Amino acid sequence: MGRHGTIAGRKSAQDSKRAQVFTKYSRMITVAAKAGGDPDYNFALKNAIEKAKAINMPNDNIIRSIKKGTGELAGETYEESTFEGYGPGGVAIIVEVLTDNKNRTTSAVRHAFDKCNGNLGTVGCVSYMFGRKGLIDIEKDDSVDEDTLMEAALEAGADDFVTEDDYYEIITSTDAFQEVSDALRNAGYVLASADIEFVPAVEAAPSDEKDVKNLEKLLGMLEEDDDVQNVYHNCSLELDY
């Protein structure tokens, strides 16, 4: 999943791979539900359900995924893991996975890096170039007043407010993320996306066009893997994958 430019671009990517995205969010819900099946008392589960609903996942799928997590239904046991490495042109990449077979997933991730002239490293080799931040996106439309939204976000504890081409982005600390998200929802705002993500503190850009193409291929291969939940990178270029 990760971040894909504009909201419209991210929605288009989701629409074209809807079944695959359903699989990823089902796993996310199942893992989150292990900490409790009531979203009112489990923010991770609440956030996962809202993401699933945003892509029109059927309620039956959501309920079934929750029951697998709480043990009411039999299901696979998923393990969370993170991979780090360098893509072509020295771009730092972090890959978050949920898998029921770590050996299979490790092999697939390594194959993607090797095939695209990347280098899979050890945990910690690139994560120092990123920070964990809460990112909340709200689409621009006539019903959203920028100044009012900014004031509401900052009063709720947000660190920063950024205006993009088609959306507003609210940036929070990890500790303030839930409080700010809830405050904006309670104020009537519709959150196009809301998650805690790796945000690059240092950016890189391949200088060779071949490296750019291989980087796009690598990121695409990772995104297409059902075990991969999120892919983060520090490339400053607008990429198409």
Question: Residue 130 — very low, low, confident or very high, per pLDDT cuts 50/70/90?
Answer: very high
Q: Do domains 7-70 and 78-241 have the same CATH topology?
A: no
Q: Which two tokens stand for residue 80?
A: 């969370």
Q: What is the mean pLDDT of the chain?
A: 90
The residues, ordered by sequence, that sit 6+ positions from 97 with a Cβ below 8 Å of its Cβ are: 80, 81, 82, 83, 105, 109, 225, 227, 228, 229
78-241 folds as: Alpha-Beta Plaits (3.30.70)
Go through the chain and tell me how many residues it has: 241
**Domain edges within the chain:** 7-70, 78-241
Return the CATH number of 7-70, one of 1.10.1740.10, 1.10.10.200, 1.10.460.10, 3.30.70.20. 1.10.10.200
37-94 pLDDT per residue, tens? 999 899 889 989 988 888 889 999 999 999 999 999 987 889 999 999 999 999 999 9
Mean pLDDT, to the nearest integer, of 205-231? 94
- H/E segment holding residue 157: none
100-110 pLDDT per residue, tens? 999 999 999 99
Residue 156 backbone dihedrals phi, psi, to 5 degrees: -80, -10
Residue 213 contacts residue 114 (beta carbons within 8 Å): no
Are β-strands 119-120 and 79-86 bridged in parallel, bridged antiparallel, or unpaired?
A: antiparallel
The residues, ordered by sequence, that sit 6+ positions from 141 with a Cβ below 8 Å of its Cβ are: none
